Chains A and B, each alone.
Chain A
Amino acid sequence: MNPLWTVAKRELASFFDSLIAYILLIIFLVFCGLFTWLYGSDIFLVGQASLQAFFSIAIWVLLFFIPALTMRMIAEEKRNGTIELLLTKAVSDRQLVTGKFLACLLLVIIALAFTLPYYISVSMLGDVDHGAVWCGYLGLILMSAAYIAIGLLASSITDNQIVAFLLAIAMGVVFMLLLGFIGNGLPGILGETLSYLDFRGHFGSMARGVIDTKDVIYFLSVTALGLLLTEVSISRLRA
Chain B
Amino acid sequence: MNIKIQNLTKRYGVQKAVDDISFEVKTGEILGFLGPNGAGKTTTMKLITNFLEVQEGDISIDGKSIKNHAETLKRHIGYLPEHNPLYIDMGVLDYLGFCAALQQVPKQAIPERIREMVRLCGLDREKHKRISELSKGYRQRVGLAQAMIHDPKILILDEPTTGLDPNQIVEIRELIRQLGQQKTVILSTHILPEVEATCDRILIINRGKIVADGTSATLRKQAQGKEVLRVRIEDGDSETVFSALQNIYTTELVDILDKGNHLFEVQSVTDMSSKREVFQLCAKNNWVLTEMTPLETKLEDIFRDLTLN
Contact = CB atoms under 8 A, between A and B. Distances in A.
B211 interface: no
Nearest 8 pairs of A and B residues by beta carbon: A81-B85, A238-B53, A6-B101, A90-B75, A88-B49, A89-B102, A82-B85, A84-B81
Contacts, number: 65
A87 B196 CA distance: 32
A90 B51 contact: no
A212 B115 CA distance: 54
B90 A14 contact: yes
Nearest to B106: A1
Interface in A88-113: 88-92
Nearest to A3: B102
A80 interface: yes
B174 interface: no
Contacts of B98: 6, 10
Interface of B: 46, 49-53, 55, 71, 74-75, 77, 79, 81, 83, 85-87, 89-90, 94, 98-99, 101-104, 107, 146
A204 to B, nearest CB: 40
A180 to B, nearest CB: 40
B53 A88 contact: no
A213 interface: no
B59 to A, nearest CB: 13
Contacts of A17: 89-90
Contact of A90 (B53, B71, B89): B71
- Which applies to chain B's interface (DSSP): helix, strand, loop or mixed? loop
Contacts of B77: 88
Given A81-B81, A85-B81, A238-B51, A90 B90 contact: no
A121 interface: no
A84 B89 contact: no
Interface string A1-28: 1010011001001100110000000000
Given A6-B98, A90-B75, 10 more contacts: A18-B89, A80-B85, A81-B81, A81-B83, A82-B85, A88-B50, A88-B77, A88-B81, A89-B103, A92-B71
Interface string A55-91: 0000000000000000000000000111011111111
A124 interface: no
A23 B102 CA distance: 29
Given A18-B89, A82-B86, A85-B81, A6 B102 contact: yes
A82 B87 contact: yes
A92 B50 CA distance: 11
A80 B71 CA distance: 24
Contacts of B101: 1, 3, 6
20 contacts: A1-B101, A3-B101, A6-B98, A17-B89, A17-B90, A82-B85, A82-B87, A84-B51, A85-B146, A87-B50, A88-B49, A88-B50, A89-B74, A89-B103, A90-B71, A90-B75, A90-B104, A91-B102, A238-B51, A238-B53
